[in-house]
Amino acid sequence: MTGRLLRIEPPDDAAFAPFGEFVAPPAPGQRRAFYSAHFDPIPSQAAPVLHVNRVAPSELPLTCDTVERHPRAAQCFLPLDVARYVIMVMPTDAEGGPSRDGARAFLVPGDRGVVFRPMVWHMGATVLDREASFAVLMWRGGPQPDDQFRTIPPIIMTG
């Protein structure tokens, strides 16, 4: 294995806050937990898109050499049938690219979703244990494309 080693952490709301928010069931005594603020303001000429992904399982250690971001829209992944999954995120550097030095990886249980903020570089959906499905919600459309992909030197994630 050649690449930068990155230890996968348990989900931590404070550590993940610069990149987005974990989506969890309401706290005891609450009927709802809202995450709508991530989807304001609406990007110009965009429409909401909801689709379902099927993702083949991966094994640890994971190697990531491609990341993506969405400059104008948040992206929400809601587990429909997921055992557990890994997210890897990184901030944007001064030149607009992914900052590998700021990379963080989290092991998320299948009963929690995730919202990536706009401009956050992240690894594609990666599940462990078995095939899985997510509902994905985000804005799409408008005058400019909102999918950017970059190849990066490998990051190897371990448990």
Domains of the chain: 4-24+46-158 (2.60.120.480)
Distance in angstroms (rounded) separating the CA atoms of residues 106 and 15: 10
Q: Which residue has the tokens 């069931």?
A: 25
Sign for the CA dihedral angle at 93, 22, 17, 129 comes to negative
Predicted local distance difference test score (pLDDT) of residue 54: 97
Q: What is the pLDDT along the chain (159 residues), one digit of tens a residue?
A: 577 899 999 999 999 999 999 999 999 999 999 999 988 877 777 888 899 999 999 999 999 999 999 988 899 999 999 999 999 999 999 999 999 999 999 999 999 999 999 999 999 999 999 999 999 999 887 666 778 999 999 999 998
Predicted local distance difference test score (pLDDT) of residue 143: 63
Please choose, from the candidates 19, 41, 9, 23, the residue with its C-alpha nearest in 3D space to the C-alpha of residue 136. Answer: 23
Question: Residue 2, exposed/middle/buried by CB under 10 A (0-12, 13-18, 19+)?
Answer: exposed
Predicted local distance difference test score (pLDDT) of residue 142: 65
Strand 104-109 versus strand 113-116 pairing type? unpaired
